[in-house]
């Protein structure tokens, strides 16, 4: 079975397993939106040649005043790859939205493992959304929700 066929099978299983609102496939068949509800979802993209998938979701757009401190927090977090479970943070464009990303090998990935990763990814995303929105506690609130070695990569 090719990597693409494997991922198509997984995407057909993951929606019911996680009780997602929908699993929407891209026109080229190399990407899916795992819709949590009608307003929120996680993008899953397949790099067929490398045999990897990439999960990404927007964490929000920071206020102009918060950007310098938040950007520093993002850079420090990215340096903590051993504690983050491989989750990385980026910007979708200069001055744009903060995006949370995770790269996974597709080989050996089954629906149960993908579901575990997805749930941990959403937990981390919830923490980052609070940080980007400027909730009380700021970067400190990230510690409670950021994944440690909890993302089974």
In this structure, what CATH number is given to the domain that contains residue 107? Answer: 3.30.1460.10
Q: Residue 148's pLDDT is what?
A: 45
Q: Count CB-CB contacts under 10 A for residue 22.
A: 13
Tokens representing residue 25 in the block: 């496939």
Is 152 within the bounds of a domain? no
The widest CA-to-CA distance across the chain, in whole angstroms, is: 50
Domain count within the chain:
1
Is 153 within the bounds of a domain? no
Which segment of 72-81, 110-119, 125-134, 135-144 scores lowest on mean pLDDT? 135-144
Is 46 within the bounds of a domain? yes
Per-residue DSSP letters for the chain? Answer: --HHHHHHHHHHHHHHHHT-SEEEE-TTSSEEEEEEETTEEEEEEEETTTTEEEEEEEEE---GGGHHHHHHHHHHHHHTHHHHTT-EEEESSTT--EEEEEEEE-TT--HHHHHHHHHHHHHHHHHHHHHHTT-TTTTHHHHHHS-STTS--
Domain residues for the domain of 27 are: 3-145
Q: Residue 142's pLDDT is what?
A: 52
Is 141 within the bounds of a domain? yes
Enumerate long-range contacts of 133-138, CB under 8 Å, 24 or more apart.
133/60, 134/62, 134/63, 134/66, 138/69, 138/73
Is 64 within the bounds of a domain? yes
Which segment of 57-61, 80-84, 111-115, 143-147 scores lowest on mean pLDDT? 143-147
Selection from 110, 109, 88, 111 nearest residue 100 by Cα: 88
pLDDT in tens, 8-52: 999 999 999 999 999 999 999 899 999 999 999 999 999 999 999
The structure's pTM equals: 0.87
Is 107 within the bounds of a domain? yes
Is 151 within the bounds of a domain? no
Is 87 within the bounds of a domain? yes
């Amino acid at each position: 079975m090719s990597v693409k066929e494997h991922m198509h099978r997984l995407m057909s299983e993951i929606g019911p397993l996680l009780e997602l609102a929908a699993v929407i496939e891209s026109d080229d068949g190399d990407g899916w939106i795992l819709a949590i509800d009608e307003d929120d979802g996680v993008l899953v993209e397949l790099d067929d040649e490398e045999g990897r998938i990439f999960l990404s979701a927007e964490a929000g757009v920071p206020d102009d005043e918060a950007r310098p401190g938040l950007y520093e927090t993002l850079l420090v977090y990215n340096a903590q790859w051993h504690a983050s479970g491989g989750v990385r943070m980026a910007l979708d464009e200069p001055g744009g939205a903060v995006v949370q990303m995770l790269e996974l090998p597709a080989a050996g990935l089954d629906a149960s493992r993908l579901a575990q990763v997805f749930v941990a990814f959403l937990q981390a995303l919830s923490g980052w959304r609070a940080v980007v929105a400027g909730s009380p506690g700021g970067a400190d609130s990230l510690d409670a929700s950021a994944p440690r070695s909890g993302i089974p990569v």
